[in-house]
């Protein structure tokens, strides 16, 4: 038997963040909105469409999206808060000033790469950060993003994230809202959102015996497919650093490989995909953070969030009782 091959690989995405943003109604001069060509955004074309735009394209900082644990939870919170009546434009602007655009970064990376090559250095981040502070000259660089595009990307991501939470937290009632099983040509097929997916098993009896298992597997396989497709958009294999040791008799030369992606959205999907590969984390039912449960029935990342969720439920019950009393 052949030994399987494995090696360490670095995941990295340098995200650029403009410190101050504002809304503009028209694109800055000289730019074309190519997003309208993408079918998924056609529906978003609207006369009232606005763009979030950097106030000063030369005023920015950068971070590595694979080293910041708070990005995904903060995106989950953003979507939750806006869905609960928060001011979308205001909240999205704040998020973008903290974490940057979801879509618009690819050209920045091309430039960064070029700068790194010019500097002829491979010592990764330090150099990369220095390169950031060279003045922007390329007109191809985009320092704005369409609000509807940002929002579509954010809500789609959080939607899948919440579905993953339902799987890890064994919320079978919620899973049943979007997963169903249907008998077809002697096979039981999975339906997700009403569409046929893959074969689940041979008999309905199997599912009746252990429904949770079949709902979890069906939902999980669906997520793996969705997320891996989105994660690999613009993905590239690259080299992080060169290692070269030479002794009197032999040379030891190798590179450290790294995986790069095209924009923050892909980086978040790649992190999501890596989470699916780890199999030891759940998503907190309150804050949406991934956490490692100490017991299999843990639903919350901390005692504090368990208590908060409990008091929220009690408040909701009281409100219901109050409403009933008034009837
Ligand atoms: Zn939590």
The tens digit of pLDDT for each residue in 76-95 reads: 999 999 999 999 999 999 99
Question: Over 90: is that where the pLDDT of 123 sits?
Answer: no
pLDDT higher for 14 or 142? 14
Distance, in Å, from the CA atom of 124 to the CA atom of 121, rounded to the nearest integer, reads 8
Q: Are 10 and 257 in contact (CB under 8 A)?
A: yes
- Which residue(s) pair with 243 in the sheet? 254
Question: Over 70: is that where the pLDDT of 43 sits?
Answer: no
**What's the pLDDT band for 137 if we cut at 50, 70, 90?**
very low
Question: Over 60: is that where the pLDDT of 208 sits?
Answer: yes
Q: What is the pLDDT, as a whole number, of residue 120?
A: 43
pLDDT higher for 197 or 159? 159
Q: What is the pLDDT, as a whole number, of residue 32?
A: 62
Interval between CA 285 and ligand 1 midpoint (Å): 7
**What's the pLDDT band for 10 if we cut at 50, 70, 90?**
confident
Question: Over 60: is that where the pLDDT of 117 sits?
Answer: no
Interval between CA 291 and ligand 1 midpoint (Å): 8
Interval between CA 28 and ligand 1 midpoint (Å): 40
Q: Residue 124's closest CA among 33, 241, 2?
A: 241
Q: What is the pLDDT, as a whole number, of residue 47?
A: 53
Per residue in 257-305, pLDDT tens? 889 888 899 999 999 999 998 877 888 888 888 888 888 788 898 999 9
Interval between CA 236 and ligand 1 midpoint (Å): 33
Distance, in Å, from the CA atom of 79 to the CA atom of 82, rounded to the nearest integer, reads 5
Average pLDDT for 60-72: 92
Interval between CA 280 and ligand 1 midpoint (Å): 16
**What's the pLDDT band for 160 if we cut at 50, 70, 90?**
very high
Interval between CA 102 and ligand 1 midpoint (Å): 24
Interval between CA 299 and ligand 1 midpoint (Å): 9
Question: Over 60: is that where the pLDDT of 180 sits?
Answer: yes
Interval between CA 154 and ligand 1 midpoint (Å): 19
Average pLDDT for 194-220: 87
Interval between CA 283 and ligand 1 midpoint (Å): 8
**What's the pLDDT band for 187 if we cut at 50, 70, 90?**
confident
When the pLDDT of each residue in the chain is averaged and rounded to a whole number, the result is: 81
**What's the pLDDT band for 103 if we cut at 50, 70, 90?**
confident
Q: What is the pLDDT, as a whole number, of residue 269?
A: 96
The domain segmentation of the chain, as residue ranges, is 10-159, 161-230+272-326
Distance, in Å, from the CA atom of 103 to the CA atom of 234, rounded to the nearest integer, reads 11
Percent of the chain having pLDDT more than 90? 38
Interval between CA 306 and ligand 1 midpoint (Å): 8
Question: Over 90: is that where the pLDDT of 320 sits?
Answer: no
Question: Over 70: is that where the pLDDT of 230 sits?
Answer: yes
**What's the pLDDT band for 139 if we cut at 50, 70, 90?**
very low
Interval between CA 162 and ligand 1 midpoint (Å): 13
Interval between CA 315 and ligand 1 midpoint (Å): 19
Q: What is the pLDDT, as a whole number, of residue 83?
A: 95
Distance, in Å, from the CA atom of 82 to the CA atom of 152, rounded to the nearest integer, reads 13
Average pLDDT for 215-239: 90
Q: What is the pLDDT, as a whole number, of residue 326?
A: 59
Distance, in Å, from the CA atom of 74 to the CA atom of 264, rounded to the nearest integer, reads 14
- Helices 88-99 + 71-83 axis angle, to 10: 170
Q: Residue 60's closest CA among 119, 7, 14?
A: 14
Q: What is the pLDDT, as a whole number, of residue 228?
A: 92
């Amino acid at each position: 038997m052949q030994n399987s091959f494995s090696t360490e690989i670095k995941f990295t995405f340098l995200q650029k963040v403009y410190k101050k943003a504002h809304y503009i109604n028209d694109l800055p001069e000289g730019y074309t909105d190519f997003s309208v060509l993408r079918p998924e955004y056609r529906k978003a074309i609207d006369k009232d469409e606005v763009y979030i735009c950097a106030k000063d394209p030369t005023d920015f900082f950068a971070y590595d999206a694979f080293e910041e644990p708070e990005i995904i939870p903060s995106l989950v919170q953003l979507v939750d808060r806006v869905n609960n009546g928060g001011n979308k434009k205001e909240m999205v602007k704040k998020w973008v000033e903290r974490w940057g655009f979801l879509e618009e970064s690819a050209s920045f990376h091309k430039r960064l790469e070029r700068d790194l090559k010019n500097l002829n250095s491979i010592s990764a981040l330090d150099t990369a950060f220095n390169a950031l502070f060279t003045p922007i000259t390329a007109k191809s660089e985009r320092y704005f993003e369409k609000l509807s595009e940002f929002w579509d990307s954010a809500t789609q991501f959080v939607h899948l994230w919440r579905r993953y939470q339902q799987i890890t937290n064994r919320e079978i009632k919620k899973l049943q809202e979007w997963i169903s099983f249907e008998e077809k040509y002697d096979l039981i097929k999975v339906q997700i959102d009403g569409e046929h997916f893959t074969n689940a098993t041979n008999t309905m009896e199997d599912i009746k015996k252990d429904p949770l298992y079949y709902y979890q597997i069906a939902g999980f396989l669906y997520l793996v497919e969705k997320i891996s497709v989105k994660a690999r958009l613009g993905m590239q294999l690259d080299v992080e650093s060169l290692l070269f040791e030479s002794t009197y008799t032999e040379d030891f030369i190798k590179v450290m490989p790294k995986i790069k992606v095209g924009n923050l959205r892909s980086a978040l999907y790649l992190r999501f995909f890596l989470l699916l590969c780890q199999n030891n984390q759940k998503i907190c039912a309150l804050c949406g953070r991934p956490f490692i449960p100490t017991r299999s029935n843990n639903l919350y990342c901390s005692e504090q969030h368990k208590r908060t969720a409990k008091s929220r439920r009690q408040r909701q019950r009281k409100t219901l009782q109050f409403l009933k009393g008034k009837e």
